[in-house]
Structure 1
Amino acid sequence: MKYEVAVIWGWQNPKAVPLVHVLDPPIEPRPGTDFIDLPHLNYDHQNPEDSALCLFDPDAGEWDSTMLIADRIVPWASEWLHFYEIWQLDGVWRGSNAPGPISVGEILRQIQEAPDGTRA
């Protein structure tokens, strides 16, 4: 599969992190699910189709502004798309996970299942 992506990075801001958006073909949820169920996505509530890929945990120091986009972000995006294609087939995300739920949908389900309305 061939993908067109956009990497957006406000490198002048030392706290900015690169964002990767898939332009073509657009990423899609699995049949019977919604964008909130897509794993490892920086979910955009107002425009879910424009959500950026979640490639790293900024709090874990996996990215800093001294790193090169071509050396880190592009390979990570390629890896994310590899796992996305497999997930589309069987619904299992085989990529590495940051701590916590895998998707916004999972967070919402955990809140609904908790007796006091907090995350379980």
Structure 2
Amino acid sequence: MKRRNLTISQQFLALRTSPLCVGAGKLHRERLVWCFDARPSSFGRSYGARLELAQSGPPKVYVISPDLHNLAEGRRLPHVYSDDPPRLCLYLPGAFEWNRSHRLDLTVVPWAALWLFYFEEWLWSGDWKGGGMHPGDFEASRIARREQAT
């Protein structure tokens, strides 16, 4: 049985009532914006994040503070899109890990906290252990598999 897509209003209500992402936001006609603090562990720092969801398109999570580039001290940030402020790469588009029937507070928000956990570990070790694949990497791996098969 296919689950029904949630409206932006339903997503906003779920965010407002969720203990997982206490914050504040605005519901606009075509999109929602939700600002919240995320702490990836009891020993980690607190990050200010902004979640945006438009009527169409994927959810986007940006880290507003502290500045991730400053924390990285000149190193290239791992697993982010090139937006400023950095937009987190939380799932592979087209791989059906997230769709509009999934609540943001139960998927994207915890994924952002997990990303921050791996980010803090990366700051210390220099090795990204969060896994994942970027859309360009996905296409490259498909091409490589196709070439191996021939």
Normalization by structure 1: what TM-score? 0.69
- 1:96 partner letter: G
**Which structure: greater strand fraction?**
2
- Structural mapping, 1:1-120, within 5 Å: 1-10=45-54, 12-13=55-56, 16-28=57-69, 30-33=72-75, 37-44=76-83, 49-98=84-133, 100=137
Distance 1:89 1:97 in 2: 19
Structure 2 residues without counterparts, runs of 5 or longer: 1-44, 139-150
CA–CA separation in structure 2 for the residues paired with 1:84 and 1:51: 12
AA aligned to 2:67 is: P
Structure 2 CA distance for aligned equivalents of residues 2 and 50 of structure 1: 16
> CA offset at residue 43 of structure 1?
1.0
* Residues 68 and 86, structure 2, Cα contact 8 Å, conserved in 1: no
The answer to whether the Cα contact below 8 Å between 2:61 and 2:112 also exists between their aligned partners in 1 is yes
Number of residue pairs aligned between Structure 1 and Structure 2: 91
- Give secondary structure in 1 for the equivalent of 2:111: helix
- Larger gyration radius, structure 1 or structure 2: 2
SS at match of 1:59: coil
The one-letter code matched in structure 2 to 1:9 is L
Alpha-carbon shift at residue 32 of structure 1 (Å): 4.0
For the residues of structure 1 that align with 2:95 and 2:130, how far apart are their CA atoms?
A: 17
State how far apart, in whole Å, the 2-side matches of 1:23 and 1:61 are: 27
Regions of 4+ moved over 4 Å: none
SS at match of 2:61: strand
Q: Which runs of 5+ in 1 are unaligned?
A: 102-120
Task: Tell me which amino acid in the other structure corresponds to 1:5.
Answer: A
CA–CA distance in structure 2, aligned partners of residues 40 and 19 of structure 1: 14
- Measure, in 2, the Cα distance between the counterparts of 1:98 and 1:6: 22
Question: What's the % identity of the aligned pairs?
Answer: 32
